[in-house]
Amino acid sequence: MKIRIVDLLKSDIYGIDVYVRGWVRTHRQSKNISFIALNDGSTVHNLQIVIEHVKFEKNMLKTITTGSAIGIKGKFIRSAGGKQQVEVIAGNIEVYGIADPQEYPLQKKEHSLEYLREIAHLRLRTNTFGAIFRMRHNMAFAIHRYFNERGFFYFNTPIITTSDSEGAGELFEVKTELKDDFFGSPANLTVSGQLEGELGALALGAIYTFSPTFRAENSNTFRHLSEFWMIEPEVAFNDINDNMELAEDFIKYCINYALENAADDIEFLAKMYDEELVDRLKFVVNNEFVRLTYTEGVKILEESGHKFEFPVFWGADLQSEHERFLVEEHFKKPVILTDYPKEIKAFYMKQNDDGKTVRAMDVLFPKIGEIIGGSEREENYEKLAKRIDELGIPMKDMWWYLDTRRFGTVPHSGFGLGFERLVLFVTGMTNIRDVIPFPRTPNNCEF
Ligand code: 4AD
Ligand code: MG
């Protein structure tokens, strides 16, 4: 019976014949017998294969080194001793592909994350990256499930676009070798699906996007990528409070899903990298997020007496050190900051009556800082058009967006969750390059 190791390890039907295939993590030889730790990617746990030398050809056995791919047909039994619970006594061995020990880069039991980043194509074969990318899958699945169960429609927004929703000048241009304006006007890779997402929400009621996004910001930090994935729900008739409820409920659901469905991988990552991981995840799930305004937050930071690398004052864009101070030192809870100065936020956010702030909301997390950014949107045509004009955004490019405010406009809200920041949080990893299979950052775009 062909079976994945994850399923086999759950089984308690012993004595049956099984067929497993995977990659050799280690091959320990003793005099008459050897032990292979086999991993097929389905779980962080290896399956022990017992090989009695008399049954097999010596030269063939020699080729089975760390990294080789093999198939084993054999008997699944309860292990006689040692720390293994179960094992497979090999009856037949098939060698698919060898991995020359002189060349194979993953010989050692442990490698540094920095080294593994240089061999991103092979790091997937380690327990660490297996755990991370199974988790990434689990989070993607949880996200689709969450929205589907709540009547949101998955809505696909363009990757190539002519709009710049965040207006931060971080665009990657799209052109061909021969033509600068293949599309008849300058185009770029999207920084966010929001503006088109709003069009969807104002027709379907509630939508979400889950899409790659691209930012040419030159920030080499633990939490920035040039290509990252974003989840952007957008809901007609939601105000900022509904938006905060949704964001909190949504992210707690994802974290709970991880705790309930990826316990083995979490346990492994916690043991290897972050002993407080489980506590931190439970802490977020079990606590209400603190809600306060940017103005109140800045006051706390100013009065804290803490020395920050970047100065903090009303009007300043908060840095991760400020965000983390509020979350980790001051409140010791996740925080939702609202009502930011309009100058540091995007043009589409709903303007407050004070004329200075907009109805923005950022969700701030321990270790990460900003994990979600969103807002209620300005639904009033005149106010929105005026803001677009003030910021010098070419009105002719925005006609389609403004049309939603001309025809059947309604209050609406949404936010963006940085997918990799979520995966960072639930894996306890500390560098965003380690939670996307093939990271793109300034000066780094291999494969
Ligand atoms: O705060 P941002 O820029 O918000 C938007 O793009 C809005 N259009 C979202 C919306 O309201 N629909 O980005 C949203 C989130 C951030 O909170 C952060 O988690 C993540 O996207 N993010 C990045 N993640 C990795 N690398 C980067 N360079 C990121 N920039 C933003
Ligand atoms: Mg933001």
State residue 346's pLDDT score.
96
State residue 220's pLDDT score.
87
State residue 414's pLDDT score.
98
**Could you tell me whether strands 290-293 and 335-341 are parallel, antiparallel, or unpaired per DSSP bridges?**
parallel
Asked if residue 387 has pLDDT above 70, the reply is yes
Residue (of 420, 356, 423, 346) closest to 378 by Cα position: 346
State residue 218's pLDDT score.
82
Given the CA of residue 195, which atom of ligand 1 is nearest to it? 8
Give residue 109's pLDDT band: very low, low, confident or very high (50, 70, 90).
Answer: confident
Ligand nearest to the CA of 359: 1
Q: Are the C-beta atoms of residues 233 and 203 closer than 8 Å to each other? A: no
Given the CA of residue 416, which atom of ligand 1 is nearest to it? 9
Which of 244, 421, 429, 435 should be mutated for ligand 1, with most atoms under 8 A from CB?
Answer: 421
Given the CA of residue 197, which atom of ligand 1 is nearest to it? 12
Find the 6 Cα to ligand 1 centroid distance in Å.
Answer: 35
Average the pLDDT over 204-232 and give the result. 95
Asked if residue 82 has pLDDT above 70, the reply is no
Q: Are the C-beta atoms of residues 326 and 284 closer than 8 Å to each other? A: no
pTM over 0.95, yes/no? yes
What distance in Å separates the CA atoms of residue 179 and residue 181, rounded to the nearest whole number? 5
Q: Is 140 exposed, middle or buried (0-12, 13-18, 19+ CB in 10 A)?
A: middle
Q: Are the C-beta atoms of residues 24 and 68 closer than 8 Å to each other? A: yes
State residue 180's pLDDT score.
81
Structure tokens at 86: 């179960």
Q: Percentage of the chain with pLDDT > 90? A: 90
DSSP string covering 21-84 = EEEEEEEEE-SSEEEEEEE-SSSSS-EEEEEEGGGS-HHHHHH--TT-EEEEEEEEEE-SSSS-
Residue nearest to atom 15 of ligand 1 (CA): 418
State residue 203's pLDDT score.
98
State residue 396's pLDDT score.
82
Residue (of 184, 243, 215, 213) closest to 363 by Cα position: 243
Cβ count near 108 (within 10 Å): 9
The pLDDT tens digits of the residues spanning 263-312 come to 999 999 999 999 999 999 999 999 999 999 999 999 999 999 999 999 99
Average pLDDT, the chain: 95
DSSP string covering 287-316 = SPPEEEEHHHHHHHHHHT----SS---TTP
Q: Running DSSP on this structure, what letter comes out for residue 268?
A: H
Average the pLDDT over 309-321 and give the result. 96
Asked if residue 254 has pLDDT above 90, the reply is yes
Which of 211, 230, 345 should be mutated for ligand 1, with most atoms under 8 A from CB?
Answer: 230
Tell me if residue 201 falls in helix, strand or coil.
Answer: helix
State residue 95's pLDDT score.
98
Q: Are the C-beta atoms of residues 8 and 76 closer than 8 Å to each other? A: yes
Give residue 153's pLDDT band: very low, low, confident or very high (50, 70, 90).
Answer: very high
What distance in Å separates the CA atoms of residue 75 and residue 8, rounded to the nearest whole number? 12
The pLDDT tens digits of the residues spanning 323-336 come to 999 999 999 999 99
Residue nearest to atom 28 of ligand 1 (CA): 224
CA 242, distance to chain mean position in Å, is 24
Ligand nearest to the CA of 194: 1
Asked if residue 431 has pLDDT above 80, the reply is yes
More confident residue, 217 or 288: 288
Helix count (H) and strand count (E) of the chain? Answer: 14, 16
Average the pLDDT over 225-236 and give the result. 98
State residue 121's pLDDT score.
93
What distance in Å separates the CA atoms of residue 305 and residue 123, rounded to the nearest whole number? 43
Give residue 179's pLDDT band: very low, low, confident or very high (50, 70, 90).
Answer: confident
Looking at 119-220, list the stretches that DSSP marks H as alpha helix, in order from N- to C-terminal side.
Answer: 120-123, 127-149, 194-204
Q: What is the number of residues in the chain? A: 447
Residue (of 84, 81, 16, 4) closest to 49 by Cα position: 84
In the structure, which protein residues have their CB atom closer than 6 angstroms to any atom of ligand 1?
A: 165-166, 192, 194, 215, 217, 224-225, 228, 230, 232, 370-375, 414-416, 418, 420-421
